[in-house]
Structure formats: structure tokens, C-alpha cells
Amino acid sequence: MNDLTPDREERVANLKGMGCSRKRVEDARFTQGKGNYIDDMSLPGMLTGDFVRSQYAHARIKSINTEAALALDGVIAVLTAKDLEPLSLHWMPTLAGDRQMVLADGKVLFQGQEIAFVVARDRYIASDAIELVEVEYEELPVIIDPLKSLQSDVVLREDLDPKAPGAHGPRKHHNHIFTWEVGDEAGTNAVIADADVVAEASMYYHRTHPCPLEPCGCVASMDKVNGKLTLWGTFQAPHVVRTVASLLSGIEEHNIRVISPDIGGGFGNKVGVYPGYVCSIVASIVTGVPVKWVEDRMDNLMTTAFARDYWMTGKISATKDGKITGLHCHVTADHGAFDACADPTRFPAGFMSICTGSYDIPIAYLGVDGVYTNKAPGGVSYRCSFRVTEAVYFIERMIEVLAIEMNMDPAELRRINFIKKEQFPYKSALGWEYDSGDYHTAWDKVLKAVDYEGLRHEQAERLEAFKRGETRNLMGIGLSFFTEIVGAGPVKNCDILGMGMFDSCEIRIHPTGSAIARLGTISQGQGHATTFAQILASEIGIPADSITIEEGDTDTAPYGLGTYGSRSTPVAGAATAMAGRKIRAKAQMIAAYLLEVHDDDVEFDVDRFVVKGAPERFKTMGEIAYAAYNQAIPGIEPGLEAVSYYDPPNMTYPFGAYVCVMDIDVDTGVTEIRRFYALDDCGTRINPMVIEGQIHGGLTEALAVAMGQEIAYDDLGNVKTGTLMDFFLPTAWEVPNYETDHTVTPSPHHPIGAKGVGESPHVGGVPCFSNAVQDAFRPFGNRHTNMPHDHWRIWQMANALGLHD
Amino acid sequence: MTKHILKMTVNGETHEVLAEPRELLVYVLREKMGMKGAHVGCDTSHCGACTVEIDGKSVKSCTMFAVQAQGANITTIEGLGSPDGLHVLQQSFKEHHGLQCGYCTPGMITRAHRLLQENPNPTEAEVRFGISGNICRCTGYQNIVKAILSAAAEINAAKEAAQ
Amino acid sequence: MIPAAFEYHRPRDIGGALAILTEHGEDARVLAGGHSLIPMMKLRMAEVPHLIDLADIAALRGITVEGGRVTIGAMTTQHELIASAALHDAVPLLREAALQIADPQVRYMGTIGGNVANGDPGNDMPGVMQCLDATYTLECPEGTREVRARGFYEAAYMTGRDDAEILTRISLKATRGGYAYEKQKRKIGDYATAACAVLIEAENGRVSSAAVSMTNLSDVPVFSDAAANALLGTACDRDAVKAAVAAALAEIDPTEDNRGPVKFKMHVAGIIIARAIERAWSRA
């Protein structure tokens, strides 16, 4: 019966389970414009809230005059810090153990900071009222550079005792937040000092922003009759928002319902808790009617969670044969005005310590210093697990710099340093246990697919032609090999605000054999309603089309930590499989009873239990579901439901190998991506179509970040890239077609072997694009040049190397 | 400020609303006519999420006052296909995974619809150029382009079959 | 982003529009395609108590090509410019330039009149019109006058148009010979990092006439006689192009912005000008 007989094949296909490119169930509503996003919400009597924001990056607030605004017809209230203070809500805790002003309390620390919250009858009146609020400022010196911040006498955070330790230990300076160290510094230094070869590099990974197409927003509705608060919003972690809202407001958690409706992309931007949420709640409590706040794009780029802003210096040592012996990394991390990074509590620099990458490096050290500046708070993981993009960029650049130092081919240098297949599970020098991998196979497959040797040959010919003056175009070959660390995470070391980072799934099988499953995660475009049903279909034998997946309503879904850091499949996906197995275990007992055999004498087969050795005797899952509710079975409770809270034993470690071929006009800085080949190994593949879509999207966000996207400030702290004119989001015209490929190395500890994929292409893509640019200039002496590689910076690179002389 | 009574045809039906001159078309469509398919993504006419079709033109409705559309004939995503019969483009976007979060999708499909009216048999480059006023943050465009090319082929095949 | 409240006017004819403009003076602005003005209003960087929508004025629309003269109504959209076969035959430079402006949606709304009249140094058509030696017709209640594009631009957002005037149409001669509009930008929808329009006519393998103008490289479009003169009579060889580029560069004054520092812009301008000349020559 284990043969894939035609009948069985048909039954498998009918399930639309794991491994098939099931079309998405979400698409019916999205393609018809019937999604339900936050700004689509409208409730009777609903008011609009909007912010008066700071023009300055650092200033004392001398006065706020709200009289004229309040006098405007249709303005209901104007909240300032003074109004929030009696409720102790003028400040709020951040996810990183710091605190953040909800509304400016005496001073402002970044441009765009929230000063007053206007509540009005509609958006038109609110925007008029904002103009009428008079704020008197006294400008203060502005600090944009974190390295200068640590030398400056200017105290940014006057609310903090400079002598007292912060959330992550002692502070060295009044603008210093924390020092975080991993690994053996003395040992690493000793190895580097004695090494045959040492390569060094300093790199700035510029500040950018996740910029989902839908900005952030919420609707708060306080039902004073029943004492219940409902909060709809763009939340990547609705359950965490509920707990935080309860802790902040004092409203008991059972009286708060948080709902994430459809979310128009998140990419990390919608993990944070923003002043808009707090002010909307307060305003609804004050007014007794629902209050909506939806930011505009400038608000979004200027004030909600940014990403990166890491100043990294590294040293890497190797033997004369190219075997890496040690790695030293130091980061000065610009966290902006408040430390509102979204990282697991014990990891103030996230999983930056994955910076040894895919290589077998015997000893390493990472030190990170967090610093305050006059920039917006944040530090979220933009389409990556916690700070993993920074880590992978760092090591993939260090490898290139080492290859230059050693005059070696960077592909070969990677190959001889990869962790070998037989070394897994592999304990890294900085403490991670990589679950599984087969890097050499992936690498060889990619290099062969692109004809790497042929490309290098072509590049050499181009270089000669360039030197002869026949072309002004250089060719760059970008390589990257990345190992992600996703699926945070084991409760023993991963928590956010003390909440363990498990996730959950609850399944109810209906009497007629269809089902609903609810999870603690929330899709922002990943297609959970499609793919989680596929996991379940394979586990419990009910067709995916007969399974509803529901997420995002804290009143109905089991508690979970939400969707970011590619954790949905590794954690909630595992919970789904485990809950499914509980269903299956009970179904087995029911089937055995119905078939009048012992439990052990039946076995699961696609969509049914069959009597071992007698395949004609079976009960389908539909029949079993019906019996579960409608037949008295001795010793078995009626019903067929299960819940699983999954605490992952380890992270998962997806990996991949990318190659980018780029043509670069050295005179104009214009680049053209001629080819991009991406091989991803995300373990067991649930839906190849969805995986491919995630890879296309992640690569495109990587292209944006590497080639031009940034949040830039001038010396006065003014944001220079606050609209989509200047904040680079590529269009279809700038984006190439990608070639995708895969290998499958299942995770040994995950119930279905899946590792997660949504963020891999971004993590691996950024260094690949950057390496392509830098590789083109390698023959002229380029070692490392910072991103973003927009036209003028590439031109500057060429200029500095004398290519315009 | 003087309010205006605005009359326009939206998806074949006549609508009459009262609006201040400064009310943007996208908000009037969304909040006064209940058609919420057009979304606001950037406010500055760079992202195209608010794209609708007005008198044969693809227009970013966040950068047009509703009064400007007085008397206009407007098609929004709600006017293409129905739950019982998706438009070829809608079906094709689903078939080729041309959407993820769905926020850009109505503007993208509405724009693609207009593009195919003007150029029924576009090349890949023409599709990419033709949708370059619409930003998608999720898909990397590859499957959107595939979906539009496939829809064009399907529409053309149906036309040929009918002749 | 919501603009401040305003009164909306929609006159049926040019006289009506001028009357409202006269009545409200500085408090009134005309609305063409709106894709420059409306974002500014939404950002509350432009205050417009009276907005005069020119959409219903039929006289402002349309393209006529007759006897080598081209007239384009100010409210003609970029999309209509691109779509007009007659215009393409007469002045192919216009389609090439229009296709590089903004994006498809903006081109359906954006008008030639709005593009040339508002004085934004980032707009492409002012430089193109200088290259084409176009004439703008300005109307006010007292009458009509014509000004050359080459003398129209004074400084950023400052032009030779009086507040009481409306730019109603653009006239130019059909062109012969080669043309090119070369534009470097960061992405679709962006203004030029550097752009250059070139027209070249050739006789017996020599340049017999030339025009060179540049976009977004000063606070106004720059028409360079010197660059054109450097090409005249030459075979448009390397040295001639080099001389023309040098002449053109001497007349621009770019400023640093997010597209890059001045040194970069000067360098790229040189490349773009050379490419525009070479492409125009290849078509001459």
C-alpha cells in the first residue's frame, strides 16, 4: 500500500499538501480589491488622529500652544505629554529595555518626533489643526554620527542617569547604550597576531528602512459599556501588542482584543510599538469613540523603525593556504534617539554573532557598542532575522577582502573554508549550533550553472579591452554564500519583553471533515492561509482546500510571538505539524475502534487509516471526523481538536549560494544587472511557487538596499530621503529577471524539516550585489567601498581609483 | 469652502457625492463611494497603488482632486471581474503568483488593464516600462510581468477564436 | 497629506480663466495636469486659495502640424504628445523626450504647458523647447504676446510669465536631421541627474546647424550657443564633440543634491552631452 498507485497518487494530489505549488487562497480577495487593510476600516463615529511633529532633530520644547487648534470646528482634542503624564503614558517601554517618549517630554531628539496628537472629526480637519498648533523650540546641537556621539559633551538622553547601567549592562558614556561581547577576544587577537595573513576592513552598513507599501496605522475602540478595548492595526506581532497594551494601560489582558487585519507588507517595520498606537488608545478612552491613526509615507520613513546603521570593523586571519584561522568584529551600532531595536532580550545586537558565516572558523570575537544619536529610533530586521543581514554582509565582504589580500579567487577561498557536510550539527566559534547543511554541493551547483570559469574569462577579456580604451564598461562578478539563522527561538534563550518565543497552532476538525486552524503568527503577504493549510493537509489527510487558516485575532488565535525573522514556518509551522499529529493520534484510535482492530493495527495513508495488510479496510479522515462528534466511543472524549505550543529546540539555518553578473559604466556610475542566479536551500519545501515568489521579492529588496536605498541625514539631522522621490524603491524597469534553483537539506530538528525562506534572498542578496560592484574594481585596487552603490558613489569609487584620469 | 456636487460614472454606475474641492479622488472613492480597492501608498504620486482608470487614462487618484473628475467615467479594480468571474488579468495574477501582500495589486491590475487596451501584444520590456509607475515591494515584479504577458496571450487567443 | 482648503474654479474658456486669475491675483494658480502642483499643495508647500482648472478649455488642447509649423495646446498631455504620429514625423525629439518623463500614469495627466510653465529646473521640456527654439504664447486680459523659450527662464520657478498671464500654446518649427534626448536618472520617475537635448542637421558630411540644451544642470535650462558653434562646420568628430562638451560645461552650474555632488554632475553632464551629440549626429 506504500506504492504510489494511481489511486493513491490521485488522493495525494487531491490534498494539495506539502511540496505542491498550490495557488493562493488569499488572491481571490486581493485581486478584486477586497482586501481588508487598516485604512479600509470605518466605524460609526470614528475620529481621526494625526501628529504634530518636530521640525528639528534636537531641540528643547519651550512651549506648545494648542488653543487655536482646539478652537477649530471639528477638533475634539489635542494631546500633549502633559495630558499623558497623569496616566504615565508620556513615555513607554521599548522592546530593547529602554524607554521612549510617546509625546515630546521637554525636548525632541529626532526630526519628525511626535509632539502632539490632534484628534478631529476627519482627516481634513486634523491636518488643518496640526498647522495651528504652535510649538516654540530652542535648538540644541545635533549629533548624527555615532562615533562622534561617544566623544560629545552633548547629553542626548537627559532622562537617564549616566552612571547607572542600562538594560544590557554598564554604560561608558552618557550617549552610550550598551556593550555586548561574544567569543574570546584575547584568544582571537593572539591568533590574528600570529597569522600568516591578515586582512582588515572597515565598513558602514548604511541606515535604511523597510518601507512596506502600506504605512503603519491602527484603529482603537474603547467600549466603555463593556470595558473592552479593541485595537486593530498593522501588527506583525498582535499578541505581543496585546500584552504590551495591557501592561501600559492597566486594562486587564482579557479585556483587550488586538486584531491584525490584512497587512500590506511588513518587512520588520510593523514589529514595533509606535506612539500612534498609544495615542489612539488614549484618545479612544478619552473620547469614548473609535480613533483611527494612519501615518503617511513621510511619517513612515522619518519616524517608524529604520534598519541597519552599523559601523563595522573586522580583521580576518588565515594560513598561507587560505584556511581561515580567526575573525574579529567590532560594531558601533547607531540606535537613534531611543533604543527601540526589536531583538530577543538577551541579544542586543540580534544574531550578529552569526558573523562567522558559512565558514569553519576556529576562533572569533564580536563586540558591539550601542550608541544614541539624533535620529529616529528602531533598528528592526528589515527582511532578515535579527541583524543577520549585517552579519552576512560583514563576513561576505571580509572573505572578499581576504581573497584580495591573498590574491586568491574568492570562490575558491570560500570553498576551502566552508563547514563540511559531515561537520553538522556544527558548533560555531560564537556559540551557535548549525543544524544541517551541504554547502559544497550548493556552491558547485551554482558555479557550474553560471559557468563561473567562463565568466571570469570573459571578465578578464573585458578588462583588457577596457585597458586598451575600447570600452568604458567593467564587468563585475558578485558572489555570496550565506547562512541564515532563523526561527527564533528556543524559550531557554529567546524572549521579547520576557515572553518566550514559542509559537502555536490550534486545530478544530469539523464533523463533516473540514477544519479551521488558528496560529499565533500573522501573514503580511507570505501566504500563510495557503501554505499552513498545505502542512496540515499532509499531516492530517484533509484537503488544504477544506482547511481555513486564521491568524491575527488575539481573542480567537492561540498566543504566539508573530511573524518576523522568518520564524513562521520554523516555529508556527512546526506547531501546526505537531498539532496535526495530535489530531492524527486521536483519529487513529477512533479509526481502530470503527474498524474493530487494535490501535497499532491501523496505519495512516494519505487521507485515511487503513488496516495493516488489508488496504480495502479503511476509514477516511472524513468518516473519522464525523464519528468523533457523533459516535459514543468508549474511553475517548467527543470532538477532534488539538493545540500545540511549540518551543523549538534550536534555530534553523537556511543557506544559499548567489551569483550576480553586472556591467558598470565607470563614467556615469550606471549599472546593469545582466544575470542573477540564486540557489536557496530552505530545507523541506512546502510550496515551491511561494518560495520562488519570496526569493524574487527578497532579491529585489536587496537590490534596492545595495544599489541606492538609504535614510540619509544632513548635518542638522534633517531627513534627506523622506519621500519616494528620493528613497529608492526600484520599479519593474530597474529589476532584472532572476534565475532560481535549490537544494534540499532538511532541518533535522524541525518536525517537517522546513527552515524558512522569506528573508534568505535579502540576506544573501545584499552582499552579492555589493560584491559584484566591488569585484569590477578589484583589478584597480578597490578593497572595500561602502554601499549604497548608486550612480554617484560608483562614479566616486572609479574616480578615487583614477579611472577618470 | 464651497462644496461641490460631483456626479461621475464609476464602474458603470452613476454616483453623486458632495465634496470639498480639496478632497482627493482616492479618498472620495474609498470613503464616500465605498470602493476601497485603490490604496494610498506614497501620497506623492510615486507608487501607483491608487491607480484607477479615468476616461481611458491610468491615473494616480491620490494626485487628483475629486472635483477634477466631475462627469468622468471611472473604472476601478471593483469594476474588473466579479467574484463569479474574475477578469483574465485577475485570474492570471493568481495563476502566476503575481501578488503577495495585495496592497499594490488593484493599482497594478488596473494599470495592466489599460496597458493591454493600448498595446494588446506587448513585449516583456513594454510590460516592464508600462507598469513602471507602480511599485510592488513584495514580488520583485517577475511574476507580475509573467502574469500580464500570459493574460495578453489569453485575451488574444480568445479574440482569435471568436473571429 | 491633505492640502489646505481652497476654492475650485473650472472656466469654460480662456477669457473666464483670465478673469478669475485677475480677480484673485497672487491667491490664484492655474491647474493643468496637477502632478507638480498637487503634491506641493498636499505637502502644504504651495498655498493656493483659488485653483483654476483649465481642463474644460477646449482651445488649450490639440496638436496641429501645418506647413512645417507645429502648434501644441498647453493642455496637451505628455501621453498625447507621445501618441501623435504627425508630431513624431514633424519633431521626433518630442516623443523621445516625453517618454523619459516621469511614468505612464503621470504622462497621462502631465501637460506640456505645465511642464514648460512652472519653471521647475528638473522639468525636461523647457530644455527641449530651448533646443527646438520654441515660442510660448502668453495670454492676459490685455492681450497676447509671444516669448521665446530661450529667453523665458530666469531662475528656479521664476519665468518671464506674469502672474496675470496663462501660457496657452507652444509653437515651433518642424525639425530636420538628427535629434537626441539623453537623460541619466536614478530610476523611472526621477528628475535628471543630467540631461541634454541635441538637434543636428548635416550637409555633405558636415554639421550645418546644431542646437544643444541641458536640463537640471543649473537653476534654469541651459541653451548653449557656444556648444552648437563648436559643432558647426565640423564632421562631428571626436575633437568637435569634445569642444562642444567643453563649451556646454562652461555654461552650467549644477548643485549638489541626492543625485550627487557637483563634481560628479559635471562629469556625467559631459558624458551625457557627448552621447546626445553622437546619437543626434548618427541620425542626421
> Which of B42, B80, B93 is best to mutate for the A interface (most A CBs within 10 A)?
B42
CATH topology of domain C178-283: Enolase-like; domain 1 (3.30.390)
Would you give the DSSP letter of residue C27?
A: G
Whether residue A714 lies within 8 A of chain C, CB to CB, comes out as no
DSSP-derived secondary structure for A100-144: EESS-SSEE-STT-EEEEEEESSHHHHHHHHHH-EEEEEE-----
A contact residues 658-687, partner C, Cβ 8 Å cutoff? 667-670
Q: Which of A114, A759, A774, A778 is catalytic?
A: A759
Catalytic residue list contains A67? no
Q: Which of A100, A111, A236, A459 is catalytic?
A: A236
Nearest by CB: B130 against C5, C53, C104? C104
Average pLDDT over residues B119-144: 98
pLDDT over 70 percentage in chain C: 100
Residue B1 has what pLDDT? 78
Q: pLDDT band for position A4 (50/70/90)?
A: low
> Which of C268, C272, C273, C275 is best to mutate for the A interface (most A CBs within 10 A)?
C268
Q: pLDDT band for position A802 (50/70/90)?
A: very high
| Residue spans of beta strands (DSSP E) within A433-483 | 433-434, 473-483
pLDDT tens profile C237-275:
999 999 999 999 999 999 999 999 999 999 999 999 999
Query: What is the DSSP pairing of strand C194-203 with strand C206-215?
Result: antiparallel
Q: Exposed, middle or buried, C143 (CB in 10 Å: 0-12/13-18/19+)?
A: exposed
Hey, where are the domains in chain B? 4-79, 88-162
DSSP-derived secondary structure for A647-700: --SS-B--EEEEEEEEEEETTT--EEEEEEEEEEE-BS-S-HHHHHHHHHHHHH
Residues C103 and B48: beta-carbon distance below 8 Å: yes
B60 vs C3: CB contact, 8 Å cut-off? no
- Rg from Cα positions in chain A: 28
Cα distances (Å, whole numbers) of residue A588 to A535, A540, A543, A593, B63: 19, 11, 18, 9, 61
B contact residues 40-79, partner A, Cβ 8 Å cutoff? 40-44, 46-47, 49, 76-78
For C65-84, letters b (16+ CB in 10 Å) and e give beeeebbbbbbbbbbbbbeb
- Rg from Cα positions in chain C: 19
Counting one residue from chain A and one from chain B, the pairs whose CB atoms sit within 8 A come to 179
| Residue spans of beta strands (DSSP E) within B28-93 | 51-54, 57-60, 73-75
A791 vs C187: CB contact, 8 Å cut-off? no
* Among C8, C14, C15, residue whose Cα is nearest residue C34: C8
CA distance A783 to chain B (A): 30
B85 Cα distance to chain centroid? 17
Q: C1 contacts in A (CB within 8 Å)? A: 127, 296, 298
Average pLDDT over residues C101-129: 97
Nearest CA in chain A to B109: A31
Catalytic residue list contains A390? no
Q: Looking at this protein, which amino acid is placed at residue A299?
A: D
Q: List alpha helices for A304-451, DSSP H.
A: 388-406, 410-417, 439-449
Kindly tell me if the per-residue pLDDT of A545 is higher than 60: yes
CA distance B88 to chain C (A): 22
At which residue does the C-alpha cell 468508549 appear?
A634
B128 vs A738: CB contact, 8 Å cut-off? no
CATH topology of domain C58-173: 3.30.465
Q: pLDDT band for position A497 (50/70/90)?
A: confident
C186 vs A298: CB contact, 8 Å cut-off? no
Q: Cell for C40?
A: 506641493
Nearest by CB: B48 against C2, C7, C105? C105
Q: Cell for A478?
A: 558578485
Residues A602 and A623: beta-carbon distance below 8 Å: no
Q: List alpha helices for B12-162, DSSP H.
A: 25-27, 88-95, 105-118, 124-130, 142-162
Whether residue B135 lies within 8 A of chain A, CB to CB, comes out as yes
A142 Cα distance to chain centroid? 30
> Which of A127, A213, A295, A672 is best to mutate for the B interface (most B CBs within 10 A)?
A213
> Which of B31, B68, B134 is best to mutate for the C interface (most C CBs within 10 A)?
B68
At which residue does the C-alpha cell 495530535 appear?
A582
Residue A1 has what pLDDT? 42
Residues A175 and A143: beta-carbon distance below 8 Å: yes
Q: B133 contacts in C (CB within 8 Å)? A: 102-106, 188-189
pLDDT tens profile A677-693:
999 999 999 999 999 99
Cα distances (Å, whole numbers) of residue A264 to A30, A215, A216, A702: 10, 8, 9, 19
Q: pLDDT band for position A5 (50/70/90)?
A: low
Q: Cell for A700?
A: 529585489
Whether residue B110 lies within 8 A of chain C, CB to CB, comes out as no
Residue A701 has what pLDDT? 98
Catalytic residue list contains A456? no
B70 vs C10: CB contact, 8 Å cut-off? yes
CATH topology of domain C7-53: 3.30.43
Q: Cell for A464?
A: 583588457
| CATH superfamily, with its number, for domain B88-162 | [2Fe-2S]-binding domain (1.10.150.120)
Tell me the CATH class for B4-79: alpha beta
Task: Name the β-bridge partners of A58.
Answer: none
Q: List alpha helices for C33-188, DSSP H.
A: 37-42, 78-83, 85-90, 92-98, 104-109, 112-117, 125-131
Counting one residue from chain B and one from chain C, the pairs whose CB atoms sit within 8 A come to 86
pLDDT tens profile A665-677:
999 999 999 999 9
B132 vs C102: CB contact, 8 Å cut-off? no
Hey, where are the domains in chain C? 7-53, 58-173, 178-283
Kindly tell me if the per-residue pLDDT of A325 is higher than 50: yes
Q: Cell for A579?
A: 498539532
pLDDT tens profile A707-725:
999 999 999 999 999 999 9
Q: B43 contacts in C (CB within 8 Å)? A: 1, 39, 42
Catalytic residue list contains A279? no
* Among A538, A662, A553, A544, residue whose Cα is nearest residue A604: A538
Q: Cell for C60?
A: 488649450
pLDDT tens profile A71-101:
999 999 999 999 999 999 999 999 999 999 9
Residue C143 has what pLDDT? 95
Q: List alpha helices for A340-438, DSSP H.
A: 388-406, 410-417
* Among C225, C262, C37, C46, residue whose Cα is nearest residue A792: C262
CA distance B129 to chain C (A): 8
Query: What is the DSSP pairing of strand C143-148 with strand C178-184?
Result: unpaired
Nearest CA in chain B to C7: B1
Q: A732 contacts in B (CB within 8 Å)? A: 127-129, 131-132, 134, 136, 141, 144-145
Q: B33 contacts in A (CB within 8 Å)? A: none
Residues C105 and B62: beta-carbon distance below 8 Å: no
Lowest mean pLDDT among A242-251, A600-609, B49-58, C269-278: A242-251
Residue A413 has what pLDDT? 98
**Is the alpha carbon torsion for C51, C53, C57, C61 positive or negative?**
positive
Query: What is the DSSP pairing of strand A495-496 with strand A499-500?
Result: antiparallel
Statement: the pTM of the whole predicted model exceeds 0.95: yes
Residue A565 has what pLDDT? 87
Cα distances (Å, whole numbers) of residue A514 to A180, A451, A511, A623: 50, 50, 7, 11
Q: Exposed, middle or buried, C229 (CB in 10 Å: 0-12/13-18/19+)?
A: middle
Would you give the DSSP letter of residue A779?
A: G
Task: Name the β-bridge partners of A380.
Answer: A307
* Among A426, A592, A597, A571, residue whose Cα is nearest residue A500: A571
Average pLDDT over residues A336-359: 96
Residues C281 and C264: beta-carbon distance below 8 Å: no
For B93-112, letters b (16+ CB in 10 Å) and e give bbbbbbbbbbbbbbbbbbbb
Residues of C with CB under 8 A from a CB of B: 1-8, 10, 31, 34-35, 38-39, 41-43, 51, 53, 55, 79, 102-106, 108-109, 188-189
C-beta neighbour count of A184 within 10 angstroms: 16
Kindly tell me if the per-residue pLDDT of A3 is higher than 60: no
